[in-house]
Structure 1
Amino acid sequence: MPQPMSQLPEGLTTRPLEKTDAHAVFVLMAAQEQEDIGEVAIEEADIVSDWAKPSHDLGARSVGVWDGDTLVAYAELMGADRADTSVLPSHRGRGIGTWLAHWLQDLGRRVGSSVIGMPVPQGSPGDRLLEELGFRVRWTSWVLKLPEGATIPDRALPEGYVVRTAGPDDLRAAHDVLEDAFLEWSVREREPYEDFAAATSGRPGFEPWNLRVAVDPEGAVVGVSLVLVSDNGTTGYVDRLAVRRDQRNRGLAQALLVDSFAQARAHGTSTSELSTDSRTGALGLYERVGMVPTSVWVNRGIDLGEVAENAVHRP
């Protein structure tokens, strides 16, 4: 049976989010990340490109919580199970996070989800609250950085292979390589090409050089890396990286990393980073080429047919 919905503190108001709220959500999430991990990882472009995906019904799948004119919390559900939430640090401990967790579970049941989950920094207030509410750890993620001044060792490409900027004719093939690889370990629906386009070429600030491809001697795309530059211009980060299954163990992933970070440095960055999670088994690969974990996140999920016996409602 579903848990009873908790109540928001008196004086707060709610409404579905609109695309014009992207900056307010960014400010909110940035404040939470600064408090929890000591730096801001989220960028407004991340939110804008997510909300531009044709498959995402923002109005039906989101809620914002306001204290006067200030957005102090939000939640949204993308696809079947990907939830995101944030509460302004100054408004923690008032039951808002619990209310959002219950709101998401109720929404998930209405849209037919069997489970919902969300990423939180390991050991953070959000992590502890979700554990109290019965959310289990589904997987662990690490953000890794290449120390300033360090480089990943070069890896020679097989004869006839090339790493280059993706052209317009490569985009659908790049999407297929990424989706085929990610769906080997990620249990979700296949991402529509239109959603991929919104998150890449449609992302604010995207430049053609951001999408790197490895091609075989026949010109087929067999590896892909999406490398972006942080808002402050100091960090190049690989947002997605994949190699076609039949082309693995040939050095293509390492060659794509070398190329991606070199391209980012050529565009003014001084540090390089990426993230990976326990479902991929790739952590050791990145550590072996010199990357160092800097933060740990857990994805906590809950099965929507269950009531967690240890769930608590905070006042």
Structure 2
Amino acid sequence: MQLPAGLTARPLTLEDAEAVHAVVAAEEVVDLGEAELTLEDVVADWQRPSYDVAASTVGVFDGDRLVAYADLSAPDVAYTAVHPDERGRGIGTALAGWVQERARAAGSTRVGTQVPEGSAADRLMADLGYEVRWTAWDLELPEGAEIEARPLPAGYGLRDATEADREAVWTLVEDAFLEWSERERMPLADFGARVWDRPGAEPWNLRLLLHGSGATAELVGATHVFLAGDAAYVARVAVRPDHRGRGLAPAMLVDAFGRAREHGAARCYLSTDTRAGARGLYEKVGMVVSSTWVNRSVTLEP
């Protein structure tokens, strides 16, 4: 990479996760008004068995201080951040070149990332020829607000997941998300790294929706929620296609947010995008858009 004088670069290790989180948090405070990414998010992503941290990352340093980084999380998905104090020096452009070279070497014909709409990263990517593929939103249930209670229809029930449920949950959630997302099925072990092996994970974080009772009960839905500071984040909500349209998702959200508040959450939020078509559902239950993001990508020339 062509870096400004005095800066150096090297692959990162898991021990660098805290420094990476600090750079991303500093960038998010400027772009969003508050930091959203947690250290647990970084560790959960980097601990995936299929992921090689050293081969997939680069850190830019001023002496011993990390000032920017790039991470090819998947062959066509990248994450980057430049500390706000270091913007305007060409570091972001250098990282974009590194990402494209790594993605091309991984066999990808396209690579992209999601950034806050109108941010410095958004403007840079537009200048570099990255096109918008979809728009995404973070939606928040305002502090003190409640989602109207929606009892489950007769025959349905909710409970915490157990270790014996893990493969079935993975199958159901991945089936639901692959209906609209453009990616390969996530391996079970990688899914687990982000869910039940996430740092700080507790049994109440993964809630199952069952239809029927006893030994014949069927898994028909799942919700993954965890705490990020004083906020609860619903990372995944999935309902099996043949059980949709029965008001189950709102009831699952009420349950997830309720459990999170029992564990100290003051705010509740989640993310969705134009591919899923679920924003209207969340707004109907009282959630409001707190930030808007764009997913930009660029075609890689051979």
| TM-score category, normalised to shorter length | over 0.9
Quick check: 1:37 aligned with 2:40? no
Residue in 1 aligned with 2:122?
Answer: 127
Correspondence for 1:150 among 133, 145, 148: 145
Q: Matches of residues 202-213 of structure 1 in structure 2 within 5 Å?
A: 202-213=197-208
Correspondence for 2:250 among 254, 259, 270: 254
Q: How many matched pairs?
A: 299
- CA displacement 1:32-63 (0-9 Å, x = unmatched): 00111110001000000101001111111110
Residue in 1 aligned with 2:234?
Answer: 238
Structure 2, unaligned runs of 5 or more: none
Instruction: Measure the CA separation in 2 of the matches of 1:167 and 1:250.
Output: 26
Q: Matches of residues 20-31 of structure 1 in structure 2 within 5 Å?
A: 20-31=15-26
Report the 3-state secondary structure (helix = DSSP H, G, I; strand = E; otherwise coil) of the residue aligned with 1:26: helix
Scaled by the length of structure 1, the TM-score of the pair is 0.93
Quick check: 1:301 aligned with 2:301? no
RMSD: 1.0
Structure 1, unaligned runs of 5 or more: 1-5, 307-315
Instruction: Measure the CA separation in 2 of the matches of 1:80 and 1:7.
Output: 23
Report the 3-state secondary structure (helix = DSSP H, G, I; strand = E; otherwise coil) of the residue aligned with 2:53: coil
- CA displacement 1:117-167 (0-9 Å, x = unmatched): 111100000000000000001111101111111111222222211011112
- Among the aligned pairs, what percent are the same residue? 53
- CA displacement 1:227-254 (0-9 Å, x = unmatched): 11113xx211101111111111111111
- CA displacement 1:166-222 (0-9 Å, x = unmatched): 122111111111100110111111000000111111111110100011011032211
Report the 3-state secondary structure (helix = DSSP H, G, I; strand = E; otherwise coil) of the residue aligned with 1:59: helix
Quick check: 1:101 aligned with 2:101? no
Correspondence for 1:183 among 174, 178, 202: 178
Residue in 1 aligned with 2:265?
Answer: 269
Q: 1:14, 1:64 within 8 Å by CA — same for their partners in 2?
A: yes
Instruction: Measure the CA separation in 2 of the matches of 1:121 and 1:304.
Output: 23
Instruction: Measure the CA separation in 2 of the matches of 1:170 and 1:281.
Output: 28
Instruction: Measure the CA separation in 1 of the matches of 2:24 and 2:128.
Output: 21
Misfit runs of 4+, over 2 Å: none
Correspondence for 1:87 among 71, 82, 97: 82
Instruction: Measure the CA separation in 2 of the matches of 1:305 and 1:154.
Output: 52
Correspondence for 2:283 among 261, 277, 287: 287
Instruction: Measure the CA separation in 2 of the matches of 1:216 and 1:147.
Output: 31
Instruction: Measure the CA separation in 2 of the matches of 1:287 and 1:188.
Output: 27
Quick check: 1:138 aligned with 2:137? no
The amino acid that maps onto 2:55 is: A
